[in-house]
Amino acid sequence: MFASELIDYIIINDKIEEILNSLGCHHINSSSSIEYRCALPNHKNNTSVVVKKETLKTRVYWEEETIYGDIFTLTMFIKDCIFPESIKYLHTILGLEYTKYNNKKEEKKDNPLDVFLKVKPKKRHTIDVNDIKFINEEFISDYEPHLHISWLREGITSKTARKFNIGFDWGSRRIVIPHRYYMGDEHDYIGIIGRTVLPDEYCELFDIPKYYPLKKYPKSCNLYALNENYKTIQEAGVCVVFEAEKSPLKRHSRLDETAVAICCHDLSPEQMKILIGLNVEIVIAYDKDVSLHHIRSQCENFYQIRKVSYIYDQWGIMGEKDSPADMPDKIYKFLFKHRIVYNEKEHVAYLKEKEEREKKMVKKIDG
């Protein structure tokens, strides 16, 4: 099961107490209609752990801080493991078969928690999650395990490069960006993207793509950096969605681990479902050259499903092709603080412009 499906299974089948017992929590109290409360293993405070019954959102009062997250982050905290290992653990204690992706189609059942049906797939997306193939990690060792000076100058740290296994390929003169499957283990790579180090003017002159797959995979079935950043995203209650891989790397280098990248300009249905399953605020943070209408169209996918907002440079701070992550940390935080919540007013504005665009298109076709 995917993480979102596993959450639904736990809620529907009332497995929360079983999980808490398996984690070593004690004095479990379920008298409240909205939450469970209990004590951490080897601790006496009977209310230090809170688990919401309808969402599996969690809160842990630990020493002098409060840790926010979900049932996976609680498992990660107690078992001292990473996100994929928490998924495996919960599958095991619930007696479920663990697979990294679905290998069969299940019969459709009524599910009162199934918000994912509100995501309407577009016909042009034909890639299925089952098309994902894991690659041999030996491919990674073929590349130099060093951070290129150009990215170092842009503020990406060596620590971040090591965490994300960034390297360099002398043959293609490209920075190597391995992609981990968002639900996979630390060594579960599914693709490798190469980013050229040639100047932009060379790329435009000779039609050289900035990003090129050294080991191709269906990127629409994954979110880059979610594997590494899941825990912090849950703790912060927010996921910032960028276009290219470099943006989460830049934010990670500034100690901000709430970012992911879709590696294109349009969210796929699978990526929408993954984001919805996080049950956090979704912040669209596309490049400066992306139109406001298109940004709103991306927010529209989550309207009335999850809290969604977007970063938009109303002050002319960013360069024409800049990502918000390209900005100095102080400016990024300013842009983030003034992000625009996608509410009814935004929704109406989007529909109005969409209608106007469609009318113009009809007039153009009619001559």
Q: What is the pLDDT of residues 208-223, one digit of tens each?
A: 888 889 888 888 999 9
Residue 131: per-residue pLDDT: 66
Which residue in the block uniquely carries the two structure tokens 């002050």?
A: 315
pLDDT digits (tens, 9 = 90+) for 120-174: 544 444 455 666 788 876 777 778 888 999 999 999 999 999 999 999 998 888 9
Nearest alpha carbon to residue 195 among 217, 220, 167: 167
Contact between residue 11 and residue 54 where contact means Cβ atoms under 8 Å apart:
yes
User: Of 266 and 186, which is predicted with more confidence?
Assistant: 266
Closest to 277 (Cα-Cα) out of 3, 86, 12: 3
Phi, psi (5° rounding) for residue 31?
A: -65, -30
Residue whose C-alpha is closest to residue 71's, from 356, 279, 346: 279
- Confirm if 276 and 4 have CB atoms less than 8 A apart: yes
Average pLDDT score over residue span 300-310: 96
pLDDT digits (tens, 9 = 90+) for 308-343: 999 999 999 999 989 999 999 999 999 999 999 999
User: What is the share, in percent, of the chain residues with pLDDT greater than 70?
Assistant: 90
- Quote the CA–CA distance of 303 and 350 in Å, as a whole number: 11
* 3-state SS string for 184-222: CCCCCEEEEEEEECCCHHHHHHHCCCCEEEEECCCHHHC
Residue indicated by tokens 């529907």: 12
Rounded Cα distance between 362 and 367, Å, is: 9
Distance CA(351)–CA(293), nearest Å, equals: 10
Instruction: Compute the average pLDDT of residues 9-24.
Output: 95
Phi, psi of 162 (to 5 degrees): -70, -40
CA nearest 325: which of 150, 147, 146, 154?
Answer: 154
pLDDT classification of 201: cutoffs 50, 70, 90: confident
Rounded-to-integer distance, Cα 286 and Cα 295, Å = 7
Q: Is residue 268 over pLDDT 90?
A: yes
Q: Give the residue-averaged pLDDT of 272-281.
A: 94
pLDDT score, position 101: 56
Is the pLDDT reported for residue 180 higher than 60? yes
pLDDT score at 158? 94
105 vs 259, higher pLDDT: 259
77-116 pLDDT, tens digit each: 999 998 989 999 999 999 998 876 544 444 445 555 555 5
Mean pLDDT over 43-60 rounds to 94
pLDDT at position 106, please? Answer: 45
Percent of the chain with pLDDT over 90: 68
Q: What is the pLDDT of residue 104?
A: 42
Residue 72: both structure tokens together: 């996976």
By CB neighbour count within 10 A (0-12 exposed, 13-18 middle, 19+ buried), where does 342 fall?
buried
pLDDT given at position 100: 65
Using only C-alpha atoms, what is the Rg of the chain?
22
Indicate the residue type of 73: T
pLDDT recorded at residue 107: 47
DSSP bridge pairs for 212: 194
CA distance 332 to 118: 32
Q: Which residues of 38-51 are buried (b: 16+ CB within 10 A; e: fewer)?
A: bbbeebeeeebbbb
Q: Which helix (H) or strand (E) holds 12?
A: helix 3-12
Mean pLDDT of 46-63: 93
Element (H, E) at 4: helix 3-12
Tell me how far apart the alpha carbons of residues 213 and 361 are, in angstroms, rounded to a whole number.
35
